[in-house]
Amino acid sequence: MTTVQEVKTLTHFIGGKLIDGKSGRFGSVFNPTTGKVIAKVPLANAEETREAIEKAQVAFPQWRDTSVSKRAEIVLRFRNLITENIEELLQIICTESGKTLEDAKGEITRGLESVDLAIGAPQLMKGEYSVNVGGQINAYSAKYPLGVVAAISPFNFPIMVPLAQTSMAIAVGNAVVLKASERVPMTALYVSELWKKAGLPDGIWTVVNGDKDVVNELLENPAVQAISFVGSTPVAKYIYETGAKYGKRVTALGGGKNNMVVMPDADLEQVANAFIGAAYGAASQRCMAISTIMPVGKETADQLVEILREKIANLKVGSYTNPETDFGPVISQQSKEAIIAAINRGEAEGATVVCDGRDLDIVKESEGFFVGPTLLDNVKPGMEIYEQEIFGPARNVVRVDSLEEAIQLINRHELGNGVTIFTNDGLAARKFTTEIDVGMVGVNVPIPIPVGYHNFAGFKGSRFGEGHMFGPDQARFFTKTKTISERWMTGHTTSTFAFLSNND
């Protein structure tokens, strides 16, 4: 007998409570591994979003006036609850995103780095003080929270990115409204329960599920002071331009077309192992995934491609429930079709298919959204598969004759998120790190993503606005600084000091 899987109807989290949607519109949440619908997520309208913002606005003053040490204490309790409930979190993340358990564990670990930094908010909230800057005037600066702030997060990191966008915002005294991706809403709702258990006041953490209607209300509503966005470059550009039009502080992180440059002196076995994880982990659905490997010189390229051919052929694609799986499905059927179409166009444009992920049995026969690991050699600038971000396991080999050529190609690309070089030559590494026009740079590091206490953001079309996702810049982004100059006059008014002394 076939068992019919229950399809849950999800909610929003507003005012400290799980709230049913009112719009009558719902989106489908899939298990990418099976291709089955597992939940219906409500898609809020503008009116529902305004109501959520209003409740956050009402809750904000009390949280603003709570001591920063007390706020940090609640963030610490929240962190402990994440670690105590990690097994349940892992199941939710894997079910709605298709990630392997290893990828999901890594995501939670990186997310906790942002929480750890937020626990240190008292240090980051400190101002400055100057005595007697002139005429018995003292000057000081003080940091204050903005008010209601919003985060719009992507599907590929259901917990890491929301934690990176919101932990510091809460710790420094703001009320946060999160619009999680409608493809992976269950993780955000579970996190809402943990904030509640940690003692966060109602209204300070809000999850409004939805699509463009929610986004536009967050962008246009005057009560929302700042927007943090992570997603594709075209949407990041729209978020930045619209938010700026309405006078908001905006940081919008877009896509990446990240390169790994390989010098002839590098250990190619080590390079290949690094590339496999950096390129195909999480089904390549990471803005910091390596899209293109650039071996310098024909001999380097020929040897490296042969090593990669063998290693990629041994990768196992499947369900997260299988411990031998290296990576799982992509997020949707539409994504699967778009990736396969991009591979087809790359081949038609003259690229050589070294490893073909279109031909695996699981790709052809499973109802899940699987695409096998694909490598295309002899990819040239101008080909669509080189110019566009392919959010799936289709990776490129671009052969170059010199380090100078590699740097020029990378710097000419419209995206500048991450890049890395593998070499044992310090001069080559120094030239590369100095001349490359990319926000995050690695040397013999497969994915140059910084730890949570360093700033994270790319250049060019990979970032709009001046904020960052990780690091101390988060505290600056979510606070405003007042500078006060004060002088207390003497000899002209009756001093209250005597009265204070007599009352002691």
- Identify the bridge partners of residue 441 per DSSP, sorted by sequence position: 419
Checking DSSP bridges between strand 175-179 and strand 205-207, what pairing results, if any? parallel
The whole-angstrom separation of Cα 206 and Cα 88 is 21
DSSP character string of 128-150: EEEEEEETTEEEEEEEEE-SEEE
Q: Which one is catalytic: 68, 178, 287, 342?
A: 287
Strand runs (DSSP E) across 310-429, as ranges? 352-355, 374-377, 394-397, 415-416, 418-422
Give residue 217's identity as a one-letter amino acid code: E
Candidates 5, 36, 1, 27; CA nearest to 319 is 36
The whole-angstrom separation of Cα 322 and Cα 439 is 36
The whole-angstrom separation of Cα 99 and Cα 107 is 10
Phi, psi (deg, nearest 5) at residue 296: -95, 115
CA–centroid distance for 100 within its chain: 18
Token pair, residue 434, equals 């100095």
The whole-angstrom separation of Cα 261 and Cα 464 is 26
The whole-angstrom separation of Cα 431 and Cα 406 is 12
The whole-angstrom separation of Cα 352 and Cα 398 is 11
Tell me the C-alpha to C-alpha distance, in Å, between residue 200 and each of 146, 219, 222, 393, 448: 18, 25, 24, 40, 34
Candidates 212, 204, 211, 241; CA nearest to 53 is 204
Known active-site residue 355: no
- Burial 301-320, CB ≥16 within 10 A → b, else e: bebbbebbeebbeebebbbb
Catalytic residue annotation: 287
